[in-house]
């Protein structure tokens, strides 16, 4: 039943209300059994390899199920020390509890370059928690000593958004990287073409200028501008269609400075 909730046409409140009616412990055990069955049906795929391929090493979560709209993940109890960094999770996430356990998460409001400390919230069987990753960052290890309960989550990623990294002590932004692996691939490729001064880099950039990720589109614009400023200006309206505030600011600054 829980798998049917990973749909783009369902409102978060509908999902939360349904979660409250489910035996989530049984649902999670069923998904875990299906993962084991999948490896048993494929003699060339070991269970360990399947688990590794389904594990996010940055968040320590195991993906139990996924489709085009999102995924269902589980984070096991641990006693890991507090991480010096905090990471945003682009898109919407709904946290839930299993095994009649509860856990607390620390919330932060996400600004452009820093975090604002928010409240601690308890997640239990009656209180799943919706996280809008564009506005809120959550820390599942608020005590710094790990977490004693399983943490379940339904995730609806926004691959066009960046994962932002903040220092825990200062709450200042210290890094970022694309959420979408393909965006990271194209971004690195453009940077390499720029570094080696490939004479055909602007031709590649003109193909990638239509990419939906703002960082890729911006780097493509820069390469095109370096080869032909007049040609690059023709692409400015295309970049503004992405409706990204930061990208629009970069365009205004760049085109204003060179005008």
| Whole-model pTM over 0.85 | no
In the structure encoding, which two tokens stand for residue 89, read together? 């999770």
Q: Are strands 151-157 and 115-123 parallel, antiparallel or unpaired?
A: unpaired
Whether residue 255 contacts residue 236, with contact meaning beta carbons closer than 8 Å, is answered with yes
Within this chain, do residues 144 and 66 fall inside the same structural domain, yes or no? yes
The conformation of residue 79, written as its DSSP 8-state character, comes to: -
Predicted local distance difference test score (pLDDT) of residue 49:
41
pLDDT score at 42? 54
Q: Which of 123, 155, 178 is the last residue before a domain boundary?
A: 178
Residues 185 and 144 in one domain: no
pLDDT mean for each 10 residues of the chain (259 residues)? 91 94 94 70 46 54 88 89 86 95 96 94 96 94 89 89 87 81 81 86 90 88 92 92 88 74
Examine the domain organization and report whether 88 and 173 are in the same domain.
yes
Say if residue 38 is in the same domain as residue 130. Answer: yes
Q: Domain ends where: 152, 178, 204?
A: 178
Query: What's the CA gap between 147 and 122, in Å, rounded?
Result: 12
Residue of 156, 118, 143 whose CA lies nearest to 14: 156
Q: 177, 213 in Cβ contact below 8 A?
A: no
Which residue range(s) make up the domain with 57? 2-178
**How many structural domains are present in the chain?**
2
Rama region for 46: left / alpha / beta (φ>0; ψ in -120 to 50; rest): beta
Q: Give, for 48, the enclosing helix (H) or strand (E).
A: helix 47-53
Does residue 107 share a domain with residue 118? yes
Is the separation of the CB atoms in 163 and 88 below 8 Å? Answer: yes
Please work out, in degrees rounded to the nearest 5, the angle formed at the alpha carbon of residue 149 by the alpha carbons of 146 and 153.
100
């Amino acid at each position: 039943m829980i798998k049917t909730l990973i749909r783009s046409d369902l409102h978060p409140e509908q999902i939360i209300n349904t979660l409250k009616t489910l035996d989530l412990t049984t649902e999670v055990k069923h998904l875990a059994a299906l993962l084991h069955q999948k490896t048993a049906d494929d003699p060339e795929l070991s269970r360990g390899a399947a688990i590794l391929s389904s594990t996010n090493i940055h968040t320590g979560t195991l993906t139990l199920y996924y489709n085009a709209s999102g995924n269902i993940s589980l984070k096991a109890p641990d006693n890991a020390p507090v991480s010096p960094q905090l990471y945003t999770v682009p898109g919407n996430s709904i946290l839930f509890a299993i095994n009649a356990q509860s856990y607390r998460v620390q919330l932060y409001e996400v600004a452009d370059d820093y975090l604002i400390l928010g409240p601690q919230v308890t997640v239990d069987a009656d209180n799943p928690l919706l996280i809008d990753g564009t506005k809120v960052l959550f820390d599942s290890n608020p005590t710094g000593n790990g977490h004693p309960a399983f943490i379940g989550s339904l995730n609806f990623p926004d691959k066009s958004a960046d994962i932002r990294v903040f220092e825990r002590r200062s709450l200042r932004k210290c890094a970022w990287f694309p959420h979408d692996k393909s965006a990271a691939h194209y971004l690195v490729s453009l940077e390499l073409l720029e570094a080696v001064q490939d004479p055909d880099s602007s031709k590649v950039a003109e193909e990638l200028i239509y990419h939906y990720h703002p960082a890729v589109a911006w780097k493509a614009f820069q390469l095109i501008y370096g080869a032909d400023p007049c040609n690059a200006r023709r692409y400015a309206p295309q970049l503004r269609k992405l409706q990204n505030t930061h990208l629009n600011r970069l365009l205004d600054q760049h085109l204003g400075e060179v005008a």
